[in-house]
Chains A and B, each alone.
Chain A
Amino acid sequence: MNVYLDNAATTLHKPPEVARAMAGAVNSLSSPGRGGYPQAMAAAELVYRCRREAAELFDVPEPENVVFTTSATHGLNIAIKSLVRPGGRVVISGYEHNAVTRPLAALGAEISVVESSLFDRDETLEAFEENINGNTAAVVCTQVSNVFGFALPIAEIAALCRERNVPLIIDASQAAGTMKVSLKDTGAAFIAMPGHKGLYGPQGTGLLLCGAKPIPLMEGGTGSQSSSMAMPDYLPDSLEAGTHNVPGIAGLEQGLRFVSRLGPDRILRWEREKLDWIAGELEKNKRLRLYTDPSGTTGTGVMSLNVEDEDCETVAARLAKAGVAVRAGLHCAPLAHRSAGTLDTGTVRISLSHFTTWNQCKAFVKIMNRRK
């Protein structure tokens, strides 16, 4: 049996309508905003529908403020480079991905990392409170750690940022599709997310929700104000130079509809039910070290683990041979491993989706409990 447990990287199994919509777009749609003929207008209609679907799901007051990107990394780069100047002080959580830390380092920002223990929301909030001051250009915070599934207290951090008038960038990569993500409620300057994880869209898609005025990351044709050498200064055109990924957006629209139909809360509940069962079974194995939330309240459908006296990459290779797909190593988030004390060892990460079955969970547990 093939067991796919790397959904935090990419959800492999999508609702069937995703592929159908993509094929339909490849075969019948041209470019939005580039013509008045039916294939261009139909493409424009599709793109707007997807924008509106995202705006509704993520509480964005106007669909124009939903921008299509190629990934969360792309969106985070726009957000960070719009708000942070070289040398600017930025406060980030101790669970950020390289998609946050590398752009900040490249900018030469002064990075202040909020140190807090894994799964300790109160300590995390308190540490943010101590770190945010009048010189803070921005706060960047992941909503959920991609390594440990730790859901940070994002609503409280957002309230703190509003109170201190500091713009907040949220990395919703692991939260979108399983938790409430709201531009309106958080008052965030930007929220970035990929399309290919919890939103069940294809790779190469992403969304940036804009609550602040962005600066274009690249310039080019937009199909608007063509006689001007300058980029349009209004959304979404200012951030969408070049031809849209219409097949990708067609797939993403279906993924968004799927998530809206089921509801993020329900998807998370199903994932948690299975993950809790897996954790309960694996806890009996004394050779395993599981990184789980003792309170059971801050976790999501992602869990890290290690096997005694066995390198995480060796464990992942052994699992791959047995037909189980997981990800091992640092998961592009060395900061999260530093915070959790696993920087030297890395971890094996398992992550579920709506399409993970009970049989797959049982097969995984059985394989994990085999002697190496």
Chain B
Amino acid sequence: MNNYFVTYKSITGAQRAISLLGTAGIRGYLVRTPKNMMTEGCGYAVKIREDRIDLSMRVLKAGASNFGKVFFSPEKDRYDEVTL
């Protein structure tokens, strides 16, 4: 299963996103943002399974979660920026 990565400037923002997803029954994982996804250095991302991303994005947008960019990772160490 491939994953999406939703980036956050702040670890607290990412933690709140996980909490929001949790209320919708979706499990998100807090990870350090991989270096090749970063734009401003040091950040965190929420890793979400491919089959949960549509609902996740709806939940995050409804919860006014202040995320940065979204990346799709079709294989190890490859991250393609996507618009959802």
Contacts and interface: CB of A to CB of B under 8 A. Distances in A.
A224 B10 contact: yes
Contacts, number: 58
Nearest to A221: B42
A184 to B, nearest CB: 16
A234 B42 contact: no
**B interface SS class:** mixed
A354 interface: no
B19 interface: yes
A223 interface: yes
Contacts of B9: 224-225, 232, 234, 237
B16 A234 contact: no
Nearest to B31: A36
A44 B29 CA distance: 13
A62 to B, nearest CB: 7
Interface residues of A, number: 24
Contact of A64 (B16, B40, B41, B43): B16
Contacts of B44: 33
**A interface SS class:** loop
B42 A226 contact: yes
A32 B42 CA distance: 12
B19 A223 contact: no
A44 B30 contact: yes
B66 interface: yes
A224 B43 CA distance: 5
Given A36-B32, A62-B16, A63-B16, A44 B41 contact: no
A223 B41 CA distance: 9
B66 A223 contact: no
A322 interface: no
**CB-CB nearest 6 A-B residue pairs:** A227-B41, A36-B32, A226-B41, A226-B42, A48-B15, A33-B11
